[in-house]
Structures are given as C-alpha cells and as structure tokens.
Copies of this chain bind each other. A is one copy, B any other.
Amino acid sequence: MNKKNLMTLADIAKLANVSTSTASRALRNNPVIKQATRDLVQGLAKEHNFKVNVTASKLRTQKTNTIAVVVMLERKSGQVISDPFLMEILGTIADELTKFGYDMLLTTTKTATHDWYSYYYESKRADGLIIIGQGEHDQRVESLASTKLPFVVWGTEIHENSYTTIGSDNRKGGFLAVQHLIQQGCKRIAFLGDINHNEVEQRWLGYQDALKEANLPIEHGLQIKTDFTSNDGYSKLRDHLLIEDQGIDGIFAVSDAIALGASKYLFEQKIEVPQKIAIIGFDDIAMSEFCSPSLSTIKQNTAAGGRLLVKILLNKINQQPVKSQLLDVEVVQRQSSRR
C-alpha cells in the first residue's frame, strides 16, 4: 500500500505471491499466464477493490485512451452555446467513446489553447481529436493536417484529402429545403445564414440549385448574412428584409435557432405563417416541434453522426484507411411551411 493507502499492483502481487509482471499479465487476462493464477490475481484485485493507475499505464504504454473533443464556438457572437444541436451530438459522442473504453476530454475554443497539436498530442493528453464545427474557415484546423495527430472534423469536406470530415449533406439539405418551399408555392425565397461557414456555404449552394432548377431568379437582396442565433435571425429580418417592399413569400434559415428568431418577428408583425410567408429551418432541434406554429426543418442525423465520428477516428488511430463521409438528410414538414 502506498501512502494514500490505495492499493497498487505490487500489493496485489505480494498478496498473490507472484511477481508484479505476472500480476500485470494476469489482470489483463494474458493467456500466457496459467488460468489458476489469473483467477487468483483477479480475485484478489476485486476483493481489495484494486484499480490500475491509468497514469502509470499511460506513461508506460504511450497510449492515453483519451479523445479530446473541441467545440468551436464563435468568439464574437456571444458567450454561450445556444444551439441544442451541439449538445445532442456531444451526448452521442460521449456515450460512444465510453463504449469503446475511451475517456473524453472536452474543450471549447473560447478559452483554450490554440495549438492543439502541442497541447493534446505532444503533451500526451489525448490520442486523437474530434473537432465539432469548422467555423469560419479556421486556420488551426487546416494546420493540423500536417501533424501526426489523428483527428476528424464534423463539417464539410473542403480541400480534397486534406483531412477527414463527417457531416450532413448540407448542399442536398439546402436544396431539399428550398425545393420544398417552392413546392408549397413560394417564389421569392430569402436566405438567412453566414456563408463564411463552410457548412452554410453548402446549404447556400443547395438553395441556388433549387432556385435554378425551378427557373427562379437568384436575388442577392434576399440573401442576408446571419449569425447562428435566434437573436440575429430576429434582427436581420427586421432590419434588412423589408417584407412589403421585397415581397418575399418564403424563408430558408440555415439553423432552427435562426428560423425561430425570424418567426418571432413575423409573429410580432402579424404576418401569417405559412400563408403569407412559409419558413423552414435546419437541424431539427427538439424545440422545433414545439413552437407555434411548429417549424419545418431539415433533419440532421446527429446520432449517426456522433457514432461515425468516433468510429472513423478510432480507425484512423489504428492506422486504418478512412475517408470523409456525408450523412443523408431529410425534410421534416410541419406547420410553418404547410399550405
């Protein structure tokens, strides 16, 4: 027993009358050790509630069995993450990692160090990295690609082969959203989102695809740069889209949060949704079903996404070849666009 009277492997070994090497192997069920010895050691370990000191183990094996997850937050647009979408995917990742015996280290970009390679890999905090949200063309992610740190990004594939990304088929999502609005009879559809985000850019391309397909004009005046918050959805609609003048009849917001903000403004202005203006969001967060009118949206499969992120990263850590993947999306029609 050491000073803090926590059992150590040596203690167990002594109790079992074997060497620490044998004890170690026995505990890990190494078949080279006689079954009887294994049983003995494992029994003693359980009896004395012995737990391997993972720190010592990490040092010796040079594996941390830990994955770091970085959530990219907007530094400017506000302190907290309001987007429930993040929480959902985070929850899945956490559960999936524990399933594979990995611990999960969580950081946001707000206060954390910027040199992820040094901080996590060189200093041996984690075996790999999951980055959620590429944000606005972030340089840090780009520069990781040249290091030995295995990592995966939730987002959109940008530079072929530069690094591995998992994400929804954003372009298709944008397309489906707008196609849906057009099917509901919309002719002049506004776009709310910030195309400096890679994912949003894709959704925006999808928006254009759908307009082109329907032979509708692409009007730049209807495309409003909007942050990922309800607040901005609200105020951009108020300040930049002069509803009457522009005569828009549909809104595609690149997140449900934005869409809810926009809805609020429409409600206040007593503009009927969906009769006068139909609206659709993106994400399918839990709240969307419960606002009034309920919000149509593009559903992202967060559970599948979280699982895939983990799987791909672990494969990468084990030197297996991996490639970027797109997850399918689908339209969820609710009241805000049904007419």
A contact residues vs B (CB 8 Å cutoff): 4, 6, 49, 51-56, 58-59, 62, 64, 66, 69, 71, 73, 79-82, 84, 86-88, 90-92, 94-95, 98-99, 103-108, 110-112, 118-119, 122-125, 148, 229-230, 234, 257, 260-261, 263-264, 267, 285-287, 289-292, 294, 302-303
Contacts and interface: CB of A to CB of B under 8 A. Distances in A.
A110 B95 contact: yes
Nearest to A258: B290
Given A4-B148, A87-B90, 13 more contacts: A4-B62, A52-B123, A55-B55, A56-B124, A79-B303, A94-B108, A98-B112, A106-B106, A230-B286, A260-B287, A263-B290, A264-B289, A287-B291
Nearest to A63: B55
A221 B4 CA distance: 55
17 contacts: A49-B118, A51-B123, A54-B125, A55-B59, A79-B303, A80-B92, A81-B88, A81-B91, A84-B87, A87-B90, A95-B110, A98-B111, A103-B105, A103-B107, A104-B105, A230-B287, A264-B294
Nearest to A99: B111
Contacts of A119: 51
A78 B294 CA distance: 21
Nearest to A122: B51
A186 to B, nearest CB: 21
A284 to B, nearest CB: 12
A208 B234 CA distance: 38
A124 B290 contact: no
9 closest A-B pairs by beta carbon, nearest first, are A82-B286, A267-B292, A87-B87, A51-B122, A51-B123, A230-B290, A260-B290, A106-B106, A55-B58
Contacts of A84: 82, 84, 87
A55 B98 contact: no
A103 B99 CA distance: 21
Nearest to A256: B287
Contacts of A302: 80
Contacts of A291: 260, 264, 287, 290-292
A237 to B, nearest CB: 12
A28 to B, nearest CB: 14
B53 A124 contact: yes
Contact of A88 (B80, B90, B107): B80
Contacts of A229: 286
A297 to B, nearest CB: 14
Contacts of A82: 84, 88, 285-287
A264 B292 contact: yes
Given A59-B56, A103-B125, A91 B108 contact: yes
A75 to B, nearest CB: 12
Contacts of A58: 55
